[in-house]
């Protein structure tokens, strides 16, 4: 396919030619997907059905769970089906849909984590103005803005990615990952895509700097709290968000800023799995493990 500029389909990474190893891959991904879906659905159900959790923090948390569920649902089932059916094929439009939806959910995840940093800033540094600044009307507008900008981002990123001619249809990854697709270009990087990548990196760094500044101010305020118990309680609401954001940001940087190898490696697969599969699984666990309200709501659901 070296002389072609358009491709009718793509071939994803094959894990093994051995049928038993393909079945092992299917069951491992099935267990991972089931665990991720269960954890996030429990968070959504717990927040939705318990009125004492109807606050801005948990409203953002339920949206984060929806986004995490969306991320794994876009990429994992297709990989599972391919292993079960002993194929590597994904249609051109299936790949376009996968890139669009994955970019949307990833962008909305990053945007929401930035919003949640602002939520913690207002709650800790300006508690008397919290209900006025982050009331339900404001939260709804924020979430609409997050979803709309993410859809616009996904649309333009997908359009820029697939505007380039492809000279090969073999993607060295288990889903249609943008860096791997750009590597298939006949003419190198498209100027439109380069410009969009620069804009994306700039926006990402802007969010990162905003979160760092927010937590610098938050920690200064926390250390002024005279009570040790009060400081610990405040820190306990901040650390889950910091851990989730750090895990997402570091793994995404490793995935998108590393030099791409010409042949598939276990390192490429591991790094991609780290940023695409593990955060959606660990986010609900991290947010729930020390949150007494979530634990209480989940225990009530279990008894019900």
- pLDDT tens for 33-92 read 999 999 999 999 988 888 888 888 889 999 999 999 999 999 999 999 998 888 889 999
Q: Residue 140: which region, alpha, beta or left (left: phi > 0; alpha: psi -120 to 50)? A: alpha
Q: Is 4 domain-assigned?
A: no
Any domain includes 3 = no
* Confidence (pLDDT) at 3: 45
- Classify 166 as helix, strand or coil: strand
Domain count, the chain: 1
Q: pTM of the entire structure?
A: 0.89
The CATH number covering residue 189 comes to 1.20.1070.10
In a domain, residue 35? The reply is: yes
For the residues of 55-114, what is the DSSP string, one character each? SHHHHHHHHHHHHHHHHHHHHHHHHHHHHHHT--EEEHHHHHHHHHHHHHHHHHHHHHHH
232 Cβ contact list (under 8 Å, min separation 6) = none
The answer as to whether 1 is a domain residue is: no
291 by DSSP, 3-state: which? coil
Structural domain of 105: 9-303
Q: How far is CA 301 from CA 116, 169, 268, 282, 288, in A?
A: 26, 47, 40, 20, 14
* Residue 197 placed within a domain: yes
Q: Is residue 13 part of a domain?
A: yes
Indicate whether 187 belongs to any domain: yes
Determine, yes or no, domain membership for 55.
yes
Q: What is the pLDDT of residues 8-21, one digit of tens each?
A: 889 998 777 777 88
- Tell me the pLDDT tens digit for each residue of 222-242: 888 787 777 777 777 788 888
């Amino acid at each position: 396919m070296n002389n072609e500029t358009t491709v009718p389909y793509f071939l994803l990474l094959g894990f093994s030619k051995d049928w038993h190893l393909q079945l092992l891959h299917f069951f491992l991904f099935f267990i991972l997907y089931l665990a991720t879906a269960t954890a996030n659905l429990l968070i959504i159900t717990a927040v939705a059905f318990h009125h004492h959790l109807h606050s801005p923090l948990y409203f953002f948390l339920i949206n984060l769970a929806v986004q995490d569920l969306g991320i794994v649902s876009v990429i994992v089932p297709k990989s599972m089906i391919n292993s079960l059916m002993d194929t590597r094929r994904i249609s051109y439009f299936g790949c376009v849909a996968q890139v669009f939806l994955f970019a949307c959910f990833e962008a909305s995840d990053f945007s929401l984590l930035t919003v949640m940093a602002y939520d913690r800033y207002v709650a800790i540094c300006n508690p008397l103005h919290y209900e006025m600044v982050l009331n339900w009307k404001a939260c709804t507008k924020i979430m609409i803005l997050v979803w709309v900008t993410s859809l616009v981002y996904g649309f333009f990123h997908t359009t820029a990615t697939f505007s380039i001619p492809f000279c090969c249809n073999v993607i060295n990854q288990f889903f249609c990952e943008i860096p791997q697709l750009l590597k298939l270009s006949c003419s190198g990087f498209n100027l439109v895509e380069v410009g969009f990548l620069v804009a994306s990196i700039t926006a990402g760094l802007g969010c990162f700097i905003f979160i760092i500044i927010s937590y610098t101010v938050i920690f200064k305020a926390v250390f002024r709290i005279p009570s040790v118990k009060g400081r610990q309680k405040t820190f306990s609401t901040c650390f889950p968000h910091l851990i989730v954001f750090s895990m997402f940001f570091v793994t995404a940087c490793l995935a998108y800023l590393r030099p791409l190898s010409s042949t598939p490696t276990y390192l490429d697969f591991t790094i991609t799995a780290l940023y695409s599969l593990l955060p959606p699984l660990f986010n609900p666990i991290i947010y729930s493990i020390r949150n007494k309200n979530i634990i209480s709501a989940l225990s009530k659901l279990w008894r019900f």
